Amino acid sequence: MEPVYKILIADDHPLFREAITGVIEAGFGGSEVIETADLDSALALTREHDDFDLILLDLNMPGMHGLNGLISLRNEAPTIPVVIVSAEEDKQVVLQAITYGAIGFITKSSPRAQMTEAIQQILNGNVYLPSDIIRTGKEAQRRHRKDDNPISPELLSSLTRRQLLVLERMSKGESNKQIAYNLNIAETTVKAHVSAILRKLNVHNRVQAILAASDVDFSDYLKR
C-alpha cells in the first residue's frame, strides 16, 4: 500500500495551488492536502498540525519578505521539512534558501513529471535541487573547501563510530526514519546524532553536512 502523506501548500496563486494539488493527488494517491495563501495562516496551521510530512512554500506570497518567511517557518516548526516552490531561478537565492534550512527547491517552470519526481525524492528523505544548481553548489563547496577546509580529517575523527555511520547514510540522502530503520536505533536517537554531527562539523543544516561529506571515504574512518 502506498504511504499517505499530509502536505501543506502555501502559495497565493489559486491556480498554482490547484496544479500542485493535482500533482500530489496523481502521484501520491490518498494524501491529505491543506492549502493556504499567506505566511501567517501557514504558521498558524503548523501550530495546529505538527504532523505535516511536508510544506511546499512559495517565496513571494504575502508576509514572506523573501527568505525571512522561511526562517520564521523553520523556527516555528523545526521538525517539518520545507521545500521552496518558486518562479525564482537565481542560483544565489536557491543556495541561500538551503542554507536557511529548506530541504529542496522546485522551480515553478518544472514540467509536471519532474515536479512529481522532486516531491517523491523529498518525501523519501532526500534533498532536491535543480540539477544545474547542485553542480555549481558542489563546485562552490569544493572551492570553499580548498580555502579553509571546513571538514578536515580532525573534525571527522572527532565523530563517534555511530555518528560516522549516521553521516554516511545522510550523505546517501536517507531520511532520519530510514537511518533509524537501517541502523536499528530509535528515530529520536538519530535526531540526537544528527544534531551532534552538525555541531561537530560546524555546519548549520543537513544539506551543508551532505555537501561537505560528499567526497569523504567513510571506509577509511570506519576501519578504526
pLDDT, tens only, 66-109: 889 998 998 888 888 999 999 988 888 888 888 888 989 999 99
Residues 21 and 107 in one domain: yes
User: 77 with 115, same domain?
Assistant: yes
Pick the last residue of a domain from 84, 103, 134: 134
Residues forming beta bridges with residue 7, ordered by sequence position: 33, 54
Could you report the per-residue pLDDT of 152-164, keeping only the tens digit for each? 778 888 899 999 9
Same domain, 91 and 170: no
Q: Which domain holds residue 176?
A: 149-219
Q: Is the pLDDT of residue 137 over 80?
A: no
Report the CATH number that the domain containing residue 214 is assigned in CATH: 1.10.10.10
Residue with cell 516555528: 76
Q: What is the pLDDT of residues 16-59, one digit of tens each?
A: 999 999 999 999 988 999 999 999 999 999 999 988 999 999 99
- The pLDDT value given to residue 145: 43
Q: What is the CATH number of the domain that holds 50?
A: 3.40.50.2300
Domain count, the chain: 2
140 in a structural domain: no
* Among candidate residues 158, 141, 148, the one with its CA nearest the CA of residue 201: 158
144 lies in some domain: no
Confidence (pTM)? 0.65
Question: Has residue 83 been placed in a domain?
Answer: yes
In this structure, what DSSP letter does residue 76 have?
Answer: H
**Per-residue pLDDT at 213:** 80
SS3 190: helix
Domain assignment present for 1: no
Max avg pLDDT among 76-80, 131-135, 149-153: 76-80
CA–CA distance from 108 to each of 59, 85, 105, 130 (Å)?
11, 6, 10, 11
Residues 10 and 120 occupy one common structural domain: yes
Mean pLDDT of 119-131: 84
